[in-house]
Every structure is written in structure tokens, then in C-alpha cells.
Amino acid sequence: MMKLRLSGLRSGGVCATFRRPISHCYSNSISPSPSSVEVKPKTPLYQRPPSFSASLSKLTQWHKWAKNLASSVGSSFVHLDNGPDSTLLSRELNWLLEDSLELQNRSVIISQLKSGNNENVDVSVALRAPLEQLYRVWKQRIEERRPFQYIVGCEHWRDLVLSVQEGVLIPRPETEMIIDLVEDVALKNSPELAQSFWVDLGTGCGAIAIATARTLATRDHVHGRVIATDLSPVAVAVAAFNVQRYGLQDMVEVRKGSWFEPLKDIRGKLGGVLSNPPYIPSGDIPGLQPEVGQHEPKLALDGGISGANDLLHLIDGAAFMLKPGGFFAFETNGEKQCKFLVDYIENEKPGSFCNINIVSDFAGIQRFVVGFHQ
């Protein structure tokens, strides 16, 4: 389960151009546990008990049907909207199978399925989901373009396996660079920031907050704390669930509310402000791949007419929420937004920030704006 999964939402095409990790906003609740919110986070498939079973012959029938369905796609989605091809879908099918089987006999069962071995066809195979559900979710993947991460209930991000579900945006690989910037820019230049408050605004599943907390914990015996905020109750529940799974309740606090609203008690005390906010222009939303535009939360995608509404709000807030020397890193839609944001800082916030830089992502696209508070 710890392998890196490069699914359709993580590579190439429109999805690779428009990155957003989940929702974004906040109001004044503190540290909700999964049981204290309306939404109950779903357990990822690979962590569910193998409470179901099917005969090897029935599982073989499903596997052949699912492979044929994936093969039928060919390159049609690629030509339509640069979506997944049958090769990628076949890899996803293998991952779905792996997550569905109990670990003890997984390799044997998979080997039999791939070889077409007809021996022991009546043997019972333990599953983490009923066979009818596997039929249903794979049909949704192909016919409805439901994201694979929502089907298996998790996403692999850096060295984390994070729970995700509908209503929470799936974290993208380029967003991982925010943690690199924390390590290589903020803490390298200002090691004392490791003892400060950090915030992840629009945390979604909690990816940035959790990874930041783990980074801070390696820097100092006395380390700082991270506050993750989000307007979406689904995101708040899922983020709190992920924080708990990694045993970081003492370091990461999840608050519900819009952007800086739940942070009034630490105004001017923040050592770092991090965010991957909505930055896709409203007019571009209909053109996104179905996996994104039809399934992921619009709240986490839509950045207004220019795409920069929330980014400007974050800059305005960082100017009075960061302490002197505090660091910020924001993800954007690309070169145009990066330059627009830098111009805004220089012209509208003169004297507020220093060492402003634009940083490119893994693909060489100008993606992040970083800087320090004066």
C-alpha cells in the first residue's frame, strides 16, 4: 500500500494543470474530532476488515469483466479531454484488487487471477468489500469518471496515505513542494520558525498540515504547532481523521471556518502561512476533466473570475497575521497568477514583505509564490 500511485488525477492533461487540494475556509471551532462533526469519515478500503467473501471463480468473472471494461476505453478519454487511457485504468484496477484482498493471501490470489489458473475455483476469497460493490464502483470509474481515489478512499502523497472522499479535494503531487519550501527555504533561513504557530488554510484532507507538523517535529526538541482550517464540514472531519491516524493530535489542531477567521486568537503570532487555495478561473471549471469538474468540490476549485480572489485575500491576511520574519507559501495556477500576485504585493503591500520569490513545480511551471513578513 505504500507505493506511489500515479493515477489520472496525478498526471498529464487538464488535471495536471489545475491543482487544488480540497476546500478552504474557516469559522471559530476548535479541534473537532471525527465524532464531533456531522460527517463521519470513511475508512480507506485497504484498512477495512476482510468481512466479505466470494468464490475464486466469481472473483475471476469480476476481474475479467473489469479488465474488458477498462480495455474498451482505449484512448477515447485521452482524445476527448486528455483523460485516462486503458493502460492507466488497468493499473488502477490492479490497485483496487490489491486493496480489496486481505494481505495474507493477496499475492497468491492475484497470481491465480492473472494466470487464468482454474484450479481451486470454489475456494473462498476474503474481501474488504462485497463483490457487488466492486462491480458498482468500477462501473462508476469508467462510465461516470468517478475519481479512483474516491473509490479506494485514499491518496498517496509524499510519505503519507491520506483518507479522502467525496466533498474533499484530492491532494496533487505538485503541492508536495510546499513542504520542501518549508524545509529548504523557511526553516533553513530561519530555524527559529520551527517553534512557532503554522497554519494550513483550506486544509482539505489535512495533507499540508500533517506533513508540516512532521517536518517541524524533526527540527527542534521544542517544536511548533500547526492549525488547519477549512470551511467544509466534510474536509474538517476528514482532516481530523487523518491527523488522528498519524497520532498528531498534540501538534495539529483542526478548526472550522473561513480562511483567517478562526485564527483571531493568534493574530500576529504566526511563523508560517501555507495554502493551496482555489485558483481556477470560474469560466474554466466546465472545461475540466470529469474526474475534477464533476466530482471534486467546486468550493475547492473556483477562484472567481480571474482565479485569484482567494489568493489576494490570503496575501491581505498574511500581512497582519504573520509575525515579523514569518514565512508564507501559496500555490497558484501558473506563471500569470504568480506574476500578478507578486505585482500585487509590491504595489499594494509595500513594506509588508521581503524576499518574494516565484518557485516552479516539478514540471517547470511557475507555481508558488513565497516570501517573508517584514
pLDDT at 370: 98
Q: Which residues have a Cβ under 8 Å from the Cβ of 62 and sit 6 or more positions away?
A: 54, 131, 134, 135
Q: Which three cell numbers stand for residue 184?
A: 529548504
pLDDT at 38: 63
Coil, strand or helix: which one is 296? coil
pLDDT at 219: 80
Q: How confident is the model at residue 2 (pLDDT cuts 50, 70, 90)?
A: very low
> Per mean pLDDT, which range of 3-7, 19-23, 94-98, 212-216 is the poorest?
19-23
Nearest CA-CA partner of 90 in 126, 114, 111:
114
Nearest CA-CA partner of 113 in 64, 80, 163, 160:
64
Nearest CA-CA partner of 313 in 358, 359, 357, 261:
261
325-342: average pLDDT: 98
pLDDT at 105: 85
| 267-301 pLDDT tens trace | 999 999 999 999 999 999 999 999 999 999 999 99
Q: How confident is the model at residue 216 (pLDDT cuts 50, 70, 90)?
A: very high
Nearest CA-CA partner of 168 in 230, 101, 108:
230
Residue 189 has pLDDT above 80, yes or no: yes
Give yes or no for a contact between 205 and 171, defined as CB atoms under 8 angstroms apart. Answer: yes
Nearest CA-CA partner of 248 in 208, 215, 210:
210
Nearest CA-CA partner of 151 in 301, 252, 369, 5:
5
- Work out the mean pLDDT of the chain and round it to a whole number: 89
pTM (two decimals): 0.88
Q: How confident is the model at residue 118 (pLDDT cuts 50, 70, 90)?
A: low
Nearest CA-CA partner of 42 in 106, 133, 118:
133
Cβ burial, residue 344 (10 Å; 0-12/13-18/19+): middle
b vs e for 211-224, b when ≥16 Cβ sit within 10 Å of the residue's Cβ?
Answer: bbbbbbeebeeebb
Residue 20 has pLDDT above 90, yes or no: no
Angstrom distance (rounded) from CA 32 to CA 161: 21
Q: How much of the chain, in percent, has pLDDT values that exceed 70?
A: 89
Residue 223 has pLDDT above 50, yes or no: yes
Q: Which three cell numbers stand for residue 253?
A: 489542531
Nearest CA-CA partner of 256 in 243, 272, 239:
239
| 145-177 pLDDT tens trace | 999 999 999 999 999 999 999 999 999 999 999
Q: How confident is the model at residue 250 (pLDDT cuts 50, 70, 90)?
A: very high
Residue 323 has pLDDT above 70, yes or no: yes
Residue 30 has pLDDT above 90, yes or no: no
Q: Which three cell numbers stand for residue 357?
A: 520569490
Give yes or no for a contact between 150 and 137, defined as CB atoms under 8 angstroms apart. Answer: no
